[in-house]
Amino acid sequence: MSNPQQLRYSKEHEWLSAVEDGVATIGITEHAANALGDIVFAQLPEVGDTVTAGESCGELESTKSVSDLYSPVTGEVVEANQDVVDDPALVNSAPFEGGWLFKVRVAEEPKDLLTADEYTEFSGS
């Protein structure tokens, strides 16, 4: 398992793309997707919702459990991935590509996000 170097990671196992034009893409890591098992339902924040770094903003339900989804940044949701709502298994099969969850116009980016190497060491993956 390889964590893409260009992303930043939270200790809650979310990833964050580089901020482009004020907007970042957010998803969960492959490590988290594997730990959850087969994801069968995704409740994502809606366009216009405000998310706060470190706070719950949705849920992922798998065949094993239900897990809160946390935002690694504070900002306004500008897009939710309807493909994941329609086919939650995308989170398992492509967590860093088509399985992204939502996009946020970032108001504030926390300073404690991890690099790929730091996340690999933290998660053991």
The pLDDT tens digits for 97-112 are: 999 999 999 998 778 8
Close Cβ partners of 94 (under 8 Å, ≥ 6 residues apart) = none
* pLDDT-based confidence at residue 124 (cuts at 50, 70, 90): confident
| Whole-Å CA distances, 31 to 2, 12, 78 | 9, 11, 26
* pLDDT-based confidence at residue 28 (cuts at 50, 70, 90): very high
Is the pLDDT at 53 greater than 80? The verdict is yes
How far apart CA 68 and CA 5 sit, in angstroms, is: 25
How far apart CA 63 and CA 61 sit, in angstroms, is: 7
Question: Among 71-75, 78-82, 110-114, which is the least confidently predicted range?
Answer: 110-114
> Residue 91: enclosing H or E segment and its boundaries?
helix 90-93
How far apart CA 117 and CA 59 sit, in angstroms, is: 27
pTM of the model: 0.94
In degrees, rounded to 5, the angle at the alpha carbon of residue 99 between the alpha carbons of residues 57 and 21 is 70
* Dihedral angle over CA of 124, 2, 22, 81, nearest 10: -100
